Amino acid sequence: MVNTIDFNSILLSLIYKISSLKTEEELIKKATPDILKKFNCFAGVVVSFSNNEEKIIIPKNFSNNPKWVSLKEKILSKFQQEQFDKYEIVEDEDNYYYAFRLSKYGLLILVSSQRFEEGSFHEMYNLAEYFGKNLTNAAYGLERSEKDKIIVQQIKLQDLLIQISTKYINADLSDLNTMINQSLKQMGEFVEADRSYIFSYNLTDNTTNNTHEWCAPGIEPEIQNLQNIPIDYIPQWLEAHKKNEAFYIQDVSKLPDEGEFGLRAILEPQGIKSLIAIPMIKSDELIGFVGFDAVKKKHEYSDSEKNILFVFANMLVNVLQRKENEERIKEQEEKKEILLQNLEKQNKELSDYAHAVSHDLKAPLRNINALISWIKEDNLDKFDDQTLASFDMMLQNLEKMDHLIITILDYSSIDKIDTVATNFNLNDVVNDCLKKMEIPTNFKIIVSDALPNVKGNKQRMTQVFQNLVQNAIDYNTSESPLIEIDSTENEEFHTIKIKDNGIGIKKEYIDKIFDSFMKLHNNFNSAGLGLPIAKRIIESKGGKIWVESEENNGSTFYFTIPKN
Amino acid sequence: MSSFYLNSPLDLKNAMQSIQNDVSVQSLMVFVTDKSCTNVTTLIDDLNLLQLPFFGGVFPEIIFENKRQQEGVLIITLDYKVDNYLVKLDDEAEIGNQIEQICDTIQPNANTTWVYVDCFSSNKTVFIESLYQNLGYTFTYVGGGAGSLSFEQIPSVFNNSGIYKNAAILAFATTNFSLGVAHGWSSISENLKVTKTNGNNIISLDWKPAVEVYTTIVEQHSNTKFEEQGFFELAKSYPLGMVKVGGDIIVRDPIMIQDNKLVIVDKVNEGEFVQILNGDMNSLLSGAKNAKLLAHGTSNNKNVFCIDCISRVLYMNDDFQEEIDIIKGNQTLNGVLTIGEIANNSQTFLEIFNKTTVVITW
């Protein structure tokens, strides 16, 4: 059997269904099957008292059920003789027949093979009573009773909340204030308030501020006058709100007269006859309240109405929270964008600077080189051997500096100069590259003959291979040095592998070898930019480069080239 | 009853020869898998050569001799006469009239009906209610939702006269079925009020966005994020359930999020209360065991057939074989994997189930 909460939920869902239907026919045809489903019954009948007519029999062939035919008369006569008031249970060897009075309309008979729990009959009778009243009103066009009106009012209020919450869920929050003001208007008009508003609490400086307000026509706005109000003026409000309770005054005129600063003295000059203020609580923190003032006439709030207003307050908190989160994300994104722009600018400036400096250094350096060469040639017979050796060292250093400048220029130009991408085959690139390089005769280089076709800058790709192969040659002391070039692919990338059996790289340097000017060995001819240039070329085309290596056990460089 | 699995024209030819040679065969049930449904019209033309009444549908998968099959066609021969009828579901107002007319023509002693309905028909609930209202409590109903797992509506039910979209097939017989229905899911949440719906989409629960409410509860319970696992991967373990008095929870299957709405295979009405359910292999297999016990009971029925929900298969993956092994017992199991299950022995109002196992013996 279901627990009480589930049972009540079932009743509520049926009340919702009944209240959403308008005509007698709709009520009978659409609500009855739902009642049967929810109570696990296989048959149901609605009988009208007006002529003992069966308004519906579900399923149709149940009308021919001989047991029902005999029981029907028995049950109806019991009701007619007023032998029972609210419900009656009749049973035969197979089934239970539950008959409930449908108010003044008639009877609802549910047939099930199971016996309902004793405690559920009263609640089911209440449901039947509600169903019956709706049927009576629909059938005879009667005014709904006051109680029904309240229920209808609550359902309408629920619908309004759904409407507002849907708007809050789907709306763009850029104009949140307008949206909140609109919902204050909708809720205000619904509860027949003349003013609805939101206040925020500032519990640090003990003040409260009116942030949003809606006023009915003819009611003066108060928002301007209600800024930075000391909370001390309204201690009763705060006390209730801290306990997550509504602050509700049904009739202001009945408040005790507590002098100039009393509550009555604050509310009466604003023309307020009754008010309700619901706390807005965000994660246990009281952040404000939403209130409704009745100015023209008093308004009495039922508990259910209050509950629904609490839901509205929660919705306001949620939407404000959402706005706050969105703004925070937006702010972070803006900061990130500025940071990226600055970084990009700084990188460009640095690159331009390196380019300019290298370029400007080149000409004087070549002049110095020429001058030193001339001085040396003109004085070959005058300088002694030591001086000539010093001149040779000067020229060597100048060459080194020239190489360094050319490399830096190249490094700083990778992003600037790029020709139009062309399709080419990497075997061609590797072959060209190897032809141009001075490869010691003892080196064996095995190149897969199935390297892929790629698209990009062929010259740059040649440079990548040159730098990687040169490294593999320079740092190899093996008696049988070997370099292998191969490739693999997946859906997105070609991965190129250059493997050597050289001296390898110490673990602690593996992460650093792609850093500019990083030289692990004192190679006079190296500028320390070979791998950074390779990295920059590969990454500028959306690829990645990395190395796997172990000291004394060779290195394998990998880089990827995107297929698109 | 005998069964044939077709995966080639030769299979069809052989099956048709066997059927023709078996004088006991009076009708055929035909289940075509979604992956093999391109030539149903030709299949219908071929089967018509047998001059036997047949009916069936297109389904995500089938079970042939204890193994699930994602491709191919399953033919079940029936040694009793089945009169089948088409109900078009395009016009809500006409559904009741069509069923009423059918009721006037069916054989008076018919007590069972196979029901296959286009699972993406918007009038499915009206059809089911109307069917029960007109046919009544003396019938046993068995069947399920036909259609494709692509969630696109396709022509999905057929009989001798052709294949139809947005329609249902009713096939009446005079055989006594024994039924077992169970699922094995149980609640992990409080009741949530369905505050806004649009067709099969739940927009809000407890006045909050339904997607937010659902994902929060599921992520908390599973300790997994939807964005890590993908919606369906996680949601297939967390269906929704509707409680009723004195009956098992009715399961509803969330299949995707669309425009920030929770899309459910079968409708959940506004104003309903739902719970979020969860289960594991043990509970689901125990559900299957229960369904088997209920179906077999004390009877010695020799034929067993199963209508199982495809989303149970998607949840269990290869372990679904365990469910088949449980249901089959010592017998050979054939069946169909549907999108929504129908089973009722007139103890309750007829409803569509999701994520449920139905075992039928006769």
A40 contacts on B by Cβ (under 8 Å): 244-247, 348-349
Q: Do A162 and B243 touch (CB under 8 A)?
A: no
CB contact at 8 A, A495 and A558:
yes
Q: How far apart are CA A535 and CA A512, in angstroms?
A: 12
pLDDT value at residue A63? 87
Query: Which of B138, B191, B349 is the closest to A61 by Cβ?
Result: B138
Q: What residues of A are in the B interface, CB distance below 8 Å?
A: 1-2, 5-7, 9-10, 12-13, 16-17, 20, 33-34, 36-43, 58-62, 112-114, 116, 120, 158, 161-162, 165-166, 169-170, 311, 315, 318
**Measured between CA atoms, how close is A41 to chain B, in angstroms?**
5
Residue A482's pLDDT band, with cuts at 50, 70 and 90, is: very high
Q: How confident is the model at residue A257 (pLDDT cuts 50, 70, 90)?
A: confident
Does B244 sit within 8 Å of A40, measured CB to CB? yes
d(CA A445, CA A484): 6
Omega within 30 of 0 (cis) for the link into A279: no
Q: Quick one: what percent of chain B has pLDDT higher than 90?
A: 76
Q: Alpha-carbon distance A105 to A520, whole Å?
A: 98
Task: Determine which of B102, B126, B129, B207 to mutate to test the interface with A (most A C-beta atoms within 10 Å).
Answer: B207
User: Which band of pLDDT confidence, cut at 50, 70 and 90, is reported for residue A258?
Assistant: confident
Q: How far is CA B63 from CA A244, B300, B309, B356, in A?
A: 58, 22, 12, 16
Given pLDDT bands bounded at 50, 70 and 90, which one contains residue B264?
very high
Cβ pair A198, A212 in contact under 8 A = yes
Exposure string of A402-430, with b = 16+ CB inside 10 Å and e = fewer, is bebbebbbbbbbbeeeeeeeeebebbebb
Residue B284: pLDDT above 90?
A: yes
* Rounded mean pLDDT, A175-201: 88
Q: How far apart are the first and last CA of chain A?
A: 62
DSSP for A64-126 reads G-HHHHHHHHHHHHHHHTTS-SSEEEEE-SS-EEEEEEETTTEEEEEEESSPPPTTHHHHHHH
pLDDT digits (tens, 9 = 90+) for A278-308: 999 887 788 999 999 988 888 888 776 787 7
Per residue in A153-173, pLDDT tens? Answer: 777 777 777 777 777 766 677
Cβ atoms of B103 and B131 within 8 Å: the answer is no
Task: Give per-residue pLDDT as tens, A205-220.
Answer: 889 999 999 999 888 8
Chain-chain contact of B134 with A59 (C-beta, under 8 angstroms): yes
Note whether A158 contacts B273, CB cutoff 8 Å: no
Mean model confidence pLDDT for chain B:
92
What is the ipTM for the molecules in this complex? 0.89
- The CA distance from B257 to B269, in Å, is 18
Q: What is the mean pLDDT of residues A178-198?
A: 88
Give the position of tokens 């003992």. Answer: A52
